[in-house]
Structure formats: C-alpha cells, structure tokens
Structure 1
C-alpha cells in the first residue's frame, strides 16, 4: 500500500525480483498481493520464526519499491481497476475469462493452514469433524473491517466477498474419499470450478499436498494471530483423529447452519453474538470460542501446544482481533498515512505473547 494515500501499489513483481532467491514468497492473483508459505513446521515456535522472517523480508522489499506491507483481508482503501491489476500468468488469465463478474472479489487475502494427515481417507473423516468449528476460527481471525476507505460494519468483509465464488462454502460430510472425489469432479464438470485447485471449500483435502487445508481465516494482522490459528487448527485435527479412532460419529450439523454461523462470525467477530451450530441458539461469540478451546483440549495435549495456545488466545480475548485493532489504530491516527504506517508496523512485528493465564480466567 502507498504509505500516504493508502491506495494499492502494484509492487509485487518488483518485490519478487528483489528476493527472487526466496522460494517461500510467490506471486498472487493481483499485483498488489504477495504470498508467503512457511516450510513444513514441527512446532509453533518454527511457525512464528518463519512468519517473522518472511514478513521481515517482504517489509524490507516493500520499502525498497516505495510502498509498505500490510496484512489485511481486503484493501482498506481504493484499489486500481481490477483487470489492469491481474498478474500476467496463464492460470489467472483463465480465471478472469471464466469468472469475469467475480474479478472484484479476487483481491482478498486469506490465511490457509495445512496439517499433515497419514491418508486421504482419514482426512475426509477429519473434515467432517472440524467443520462445525469453522465459525470460531473465522471469528478470531477476522481482519478486514474497512473497504473503500469506509468501515463496512463487518469484522471480516473478506468473507462475504469471497463467498461470492461458487465453491467457497463449508465442506459437506462425506463417507469416504471416493465420495469426496466425486463431489470435486461434479464441481469441475459443471463449470463451478476450473479444476480441483479451484474448489474453494472452507476446509478441504489439499489437491497438491498430503494435508487437510483449512482456508476460512482472513490473513492475520500479526504473526501471533497466525500462530494461534495454526495451533488451533492442528489441535482440531488431532482431536478429530482421536474421535474417529474412538468410533465417535461426526456431528450431523446442516451445512446451512454452519453458513449462517459463519456469516454471524464475519459480521461480529469475537465481540458480538454468534450461532451455536449444535443447538442453533444465539450465544456470545466469545463463549463459543471458549467452547472451541475446551473441545480441542485433548488435541492440545497431543500436540503439546496447550500453554502457547492459552497465552495467545488470552491475547486475542483481551486485546481484540485484527479487526478490533484496525479500528483502534484508525481512531488513534490523525491521517490516512499514519493509519497505514501503523498497520504496516503491526504486520512486520514479530513477538511472542507475554500474558500469563490460568485456565479461562481472563
């Protein structure tokens, strides 16, 4: 983004040329977007270190091409004409040809967490068991309250924008990998997706890696937020594997109920009402987040991440989500440029949460 006006800068190609020897940083759909991907990490400390390193590299490259790096789910201010901003790459050109009406929804930024699983069959069982918790993952990661210079009234404006794509929806419950693959083929054959990579379920089996890929979150404003998300997703997968091996069935939650809960999470974030998908009742979103933490406690015991996730969760509950902090920074900023620089500083900051917690006594 431009450090004065907040407008999008088509600087990603120039930044990539400056750091062309870094394979973990790649181009994205729009030339004002850039993607980082950590290597496979064995623990949350590695995740934090890699995110900090990659964000630092990009912040330095952005400075050299006269812009700043900001992690936000959507552009807070004006974007250039969409077609002129598309990266000149065959896959992206084909997407433009097939879905021209959705081009304005293509410049959003998400955070995808991949967790390795030993088989695709087990991965399908994991998807069925983690799908009810997707709204809570969205609520804590919401980080896109502003668009076109205005407060949208949503904590994650990215979610309704991205949900315009025909396959951007919650996963279903599939009995096995055969059913899953048939669902993918049906979407591709019908033209709803260009290929399996274009099936944008909020959680899916990765078409490229032996992982469960959870795609519901906005890109995280701080590295700590992303570490929390990674820890929760890994614990959700570990808990789901344990439930399957114990013979516990997947919760039979209607997909429409999950979609309604996701909409509530996107609008209100962690601070407002949410929908308990198991009962259909409206409850405080913060209580539903605490329910998630209780649910994944067996998984946290397996992964060894209990203390770290508790600390980071306390930081979000007490300090707010990315959307909350964006609003606070804008209120405290005298000018657009001051706000943009504050967002960039938060994006590049790499630190571990220092809060000490006792259970959920926050």
Structure 2
C-alpha cells in the first residue's frame, strides 16, 4: 500500500455496513500468589466460587491461567463495560483466594516447576503430542473476533489483517519479562508462542477453498490436533462466524483491549468496503517484520512492508489509522482510537510501562504489583 493510498483514499461506508460488524474479545490472565508474586495454580477454586454475573469465565490450559470472553457487541462502550466487569469479578475472587490477577503475556517471576495443566484429556493429549512445547506455557493473549457475513468475506479480511499483523503486535506488546529476567523483547509471548508448528502468520489465500485446503493439510500433518489448534495469528474461527485475530498480547488495561478491537474492526470494515485484494506480503518479509515488532514494540523500529526498510513503529501505527479513518468515523470510534494511540505513544505500550515500573520500584516484585493494580483499573 502506497503512502498516497494510506493517506488519501476515501471509501463510501454506509453506517449500516459498519454497524453490522459485531465484535468480541477474549482475554487470558495469569494468577499469582499475593505474597510471592509467583504463579499460583488456583483457577479451579476461583472459577468454582466466583459470582459470574453473566460473564463468560473459563479455565485455560494451565491452572495458573483464567480466561474471560465478552459477549457479541456492537459498540465499543458496550465492549468496554463487559471487559471491565469481567476483570473486576475475577480480580476480586482471586484476592479472596490469596491471589492476584495480572494481565501480562508471560510470567514475570519464575517457578521451580511448570504450571500444572487443567485436568482435561485434550490437554494431556497435547502433552503427549507436543512434548516440551507445553513447558513454554502459560502465555496470555488477547483474541479479537469480528463477525462477517460469509467465508469469502472472512478470507478477504484475513488477508488485509495479515498485512497489519506486525503493527497490531507492536501496539499490543506486553511481555518483556519472563521467569525472573528481562528478555530484551517487548513481546516475549509472541516468540514463545511462535514455536508451535501451527502458529505464526498464515499464508495469503486466494479463496475460502484454498483456506480450507491449507487448514486440512496442517491438521493432517499432525501439527494441529484439530481446528481449535490452528494457531495462526489471524484465522477463521472454528466455532463462530468470525475472523479471529490472535497476534496480540493480553492488553494491560481495558482501554488497551478496546483499542485493539476498534482497530481490528476498522480494518475489516475498510477491507469489505474497498473490495480490493490485500497485498500478498511474502513470508520472507512478514516473518522478520513480526520479529521486529516483538522485539521493539511501539517505541522502536518496525518494518515498512512497502519498502522493506525500517520505519518508526509509531509511524506505521499512524498509517494504519489513516487508512481506516473513514470506517472509524462512521462507527464513531475515530476519537477513541486517535486519543488511545496518542496516549500509547506518550506513555508507551504495555512492555514499556512494565519496564518503567521496574525503574520506579527496582524489583520484579514491584512490576507484579504494578500489573495487578493496572489490570483491575477501570
């Protein structure tokens, strides 16, 4: 996409077209002991006692993880209210069980042994099939779903989101610390998760039939046990009529999660309105761009997928907003996105804020305390 296309193209977006694009968000969290700050395998106790108040709260693969899923939303204020409510009830119940809920992609403090798995046959089979990869868990992401009318439209949108995956990762990067050390990356979660054979950026697909064929080949190879284990950074959901974006770290705050949802829906609306095919970025350029985004986050350099050269990640994020601005204005999300991105550029992405907390407190325990307070902030 040229700078002229990003900055000046205008699409005729009917309000009804954008409003029909529903959105939902899944958030994965870590549970840590309130005294030590280390992982605490208390998800079953918390889930058995929590007052759900209509929230969809679920176990994850590790007993030290817990997940919330919003309902189907049409507006960002509606989504924000649901995410905020789920974080509040989970944080309160975690505290009643001597734990803290934290939104970070990787555990800041390590532990002597791997986190125990939720006792389901599926997870034990994963251990048998994928062996030491299970030791990389738990890691926590933010998954954004956008409802779309049919699979051909979903594949069109997946291709467009594929182009912007590095920028979405840079904006969401929130996992600089892992197992008692600074990894030197903004999103260590992304590097850990990319080790899975069915993870990473998907291919560019011509049609939905091509997508189905590739999906079946991955499963036939044993790299994924089933559709749920197709861990591509953006995919057609296995169970919902949605495109699911999985590239992001779990958001530090509710506002950050809402920003990611607005950006993803804006890309989907713009792609549908244009009807144009997305640039087919070759893997040899897209993979380094994702690595660079994971390393630098929003504060450093990203890869310009037009030139192949480096550019400030914040400038690439601004280019995304310029491209989707007509859709954001129709949906009423432009001010939210513009102000949220400006705040991130000023305050830093989640990784930068974690490192700032370490500078203030002088300890990783101080980072964990900061994360617990940030996670439940309204």
CA contact (8 A) 2:33 2:40 kept: yes
- CA distance in 1 between counterparts of 2:277 and 2:47 reads 47
Cα pair distance change 1:257/1:16, threshold 3 Å: same
1:290-305 equivalences under 5 Å are 290-305=318-333
String of CA shifts for 1:139-193, please: whole Å, max 9, x gaps: 0100000011111100000011000000111121212111101001000001010
Unmatched tracts of structure 1, length 5 or more: 351-362
- CA distance in 1 between counterparts of 2:286 and 2:358 reads 32
1:18-37 equivalences under 5 Å are 18-19=49-50, 21=52, 24-37=56-69
CA contact (8 A) 1:201 1:215 kept: yes
- CA distance in 2 between counterparts of 1:346 and 1:175 reads 42
Task: Give the secondary structure class of the aligned counterpart of 1:325.
Answer: helix
1:1-362 equivalences under 5 Å are 1-19=32-50, 21=52, 24-82=56-114, 85-244=116-275, 248-350=276-378
- CA distance in 1 between counterparts of 2:265 and 2:112 reads 37
Task: Give the secondary structure class of the aligned counterpart of 1:345.
Answer: helix
CA contact (8 A) 1:8 1:80 kept: no
Task: Give the secondary structure class of the aligned counterpart of 1:172.
Answer: coil
How far is 1:255 from its partner?
A: 2.2
* 329-338 vs 52-61, which moves further: 329-338
- CA distance in 2 between counterparts of 1:174 and 1:28 reads 30
- CA distance in 1 between counterparts of 2:179 and 2:107 reads 7
- CA distance in 2 between counterparts of 1:336 and 1:311 reads 30
Unmatched tracts of structure 2, length 5 or more: 1-31
Task: Provide TM-score, normalisation by structure 1.
Answer: 0.93
The structure with the greater share of residues assigned to strand is 2
CA contact (8 A) 1:231 1:305 kept: yes
* 334-343 vs 318-327, which moves further: 334-343
CA RMSD, Structure 1 to Structure 2 (Å): 1.3
Cα pair distance change 1:23/1:96, threshold 3 Å: farther
- CA distance in 1 between counterparts of 2:333 and 2:285 reads 30
TM superposition outliers: structure 1 runs of 4+ over 6 Å: none
